[in-house]
Chains A and B, each alone.
Chain A
Amino acid sequence: MDGLILLLPLMIPLAAAALTAMLWRSVRAQRAVGVAAAVALLVAAVTLLVRVLDGGVVASQMGDWRAPFGITFVADRFAAIMVVIAATMALATTVYGLAHDALDRERAGFHPLFHGLILGVIGSFLTGDLFNLYVWFEVMLIASFGLLILGGSREQIDGALKYAVLNLVGTTVFLIGVGFLYGITGTLNMADLAGKVPLAENRGLVSATAVMLLAAFGLKAAVFPLFFWLPASYHTAPPPVAAIFAALLTKVGVYAMIRVFTLVYGGAAEWVGPVVAVLAALTMLTGVLGAAAHYDIRRILAFHIISQIGFMLLGLAVWTPLALGGAVLYIVHHIVVKANLFLIAGAIERAGGSYQLKDLGGLSRSQPLLAVLFLIPALSLAGIPPLSGFWGKLTVIRAGLEQGHAWLAGVALLVGLLTLYSMIKIWNYAFWKEPPEGAPAVSGLTGRTRLLMLAPITALAAVTLTISLWAEPFVAVSLEAAAELLSPTAYIAAVLGSPAPGPTVLGALP
Chain B
Amino acid sequence: MPSVILRTSARPLLALMLVFSLYLLLRGHNAPGGGFIGGLFAASGFAVYAIAFGRRAAEAALRFTPKAVLGAGLLLALVSGLPAFLLGEPFLTHLWWSVLSTALVFDVGVYLTVVGAVCAFLFELTEE
Chain B residues with CB under 8 A of A62? 90-92
Cβ of B90 and Cβ of A18 under 8 Å apart?
Answer: no
A21-B70, A24-B65 are contacts. A14–B78 as well, Cβ < 8 Å?
yes
Write out, one digit per residue, whether chain B residues 73-111 have a CB within 8 A of any chain A CB (1) or not (0).
111001000001100111111100000000000000000
Cβ of A21 and Cβ of B91 under 8 Å apart?
Answer: no
A14-B78, A15-B78, A22-B72 are contacts. A112–B67 as well, Cβ < 8 Å?
yes
Cβ of B75 and Cβ of A15 under 8 Å apart?
Answer: yes
Cβ of A18 and Cβ of B75 under 8 Å apart?
Answer: yes
B69 → chain A, closest Cβ, in Å? 9
B33 lies within 8 A of chain A by Cβ: no
Chain B residues with CB under 8 A of A327? none
Cβ of B68 and Cβ of A22 under 8 Å apart?
Answer: yes
CB-based nearest B residue for A17: B74
Cβ of B68 and Cβ of A21 under 8 Å apart?
Answer: yes
Write out, one digit per residue, whether chain A residues 262-286 have a CB within 8 A of any chain B CB (1) or not (0).
0000000000000000000000000
Cβ of A18 and Cβ of B78 under 8 Å apart?
Answer: yes
Interface residues of A in 35-79 (CB under 8 A from B): 60-64
CB-based nearest B residue for A1: B88
Cβ of B71 and Cβ of A7 under 8 Å apart?
Answer: no
Chain B residues with CB under 8 A of A109? 67
Q: Which of B73, B75, B84, B92 contacts A19 (CB 8 A)?
A: B75
Q: Interface size of A by Cβ–Cβ distance < 8 Å?
A: 23
A124 lies within 8 A of chain B by Cβ: no
Interface residues of A in 1-31 (CB under 8 A from B): 1, 3-4, 7, 11, 14-15, 17-25
Chain A residues with CB under 8 A of B92? 62-63
Chain B residues with CB under 8 A of A4? 85, 91
Q: Interface size of B by Cβ–Cβ distance < 8 Å?
A: 20
Main secondary structure of the interface of B (DSSP, over half): helix
Chain B residues with CB under 8 A of A17? 71, 74
Cβ of A63 and Cβ of B90 under 8 Å apart?
Answer: yes
Q: Which of A4, A21, A109: most chain B Cβ within 10 A?
A: A21
Chain A residues with CB under 8 A of B67? 21-22, 24, 109, 112
Cβ of A3 and Cβ of B85 under 8 Å apart?
Answer: yes
Cβ of A14 and Cβ of B74 under 8 Å apart?
Answer: yes
Interface residues of A in 184-243 (CB under 8 A from B): none
Chain A residues with CB under 8 A of B85? 3-4
Q: Which of B65, B70, B71, B94: most chain A Cβ within 10 A?
A: B71
A17-B71, A22-B68, A24-B68 are contacts. A60–B91 as well, Cβ < 8 Å?
yes
B80 → chain A, closest Cβ, in Å? 11
Cβ of B71 and Cβ of A20 under 8 Å apart?
Answer: yes
Cα–Cα, bound, A62→B80 (Å): 13
A123 → chain B, closest Cβ, in Å? 13
Cα–Cα, bound, A62→B84 (Å): 10
Q: Which of B75, B88, B93 contacts A22 (CB 8 A)?
A: B75
Cα–Cα, bound, A1→B93 (Å): 14
Cβ of A64 and Cβ of B93 under 8 Å apart?
Answer: yes
Chain B residues with CB under 8 A of A25? 65
Cβ of B90 and Cβ of A60 under 8 Å apart?
Answer: yes
Chain B residues with CB under 8 A of A112? 67, 71
B66 → chain A, closest Cβ, in Å? 9
Chain A residues with CB under 8 A of B89? 64
Chain B residues with CB under 8 A of A11? 78, 91
Q: Which 3 A-B pairs have the closest CB atoms?
A: A21-B71, A18-B74, A22-B71
Q: Provide 26 A-B residue pairs closer than 8 Å at the C-beta atoms, listed in order of the A residue.
A: A1-B88, A3-B91, A14-B74, A17-B74, A18-B71, A18-B74, A18-B75, A21-B67, A21-B70, A21-B116, A22-B68, A22-B71, A22-B75, A24-B65, A24-B67, A24-B68, A24-B71, A60-B91, A61-B90, A62-B90, A63-B91, A63-B92, A63-B94, A64-B93, A109-B67, A112-B67
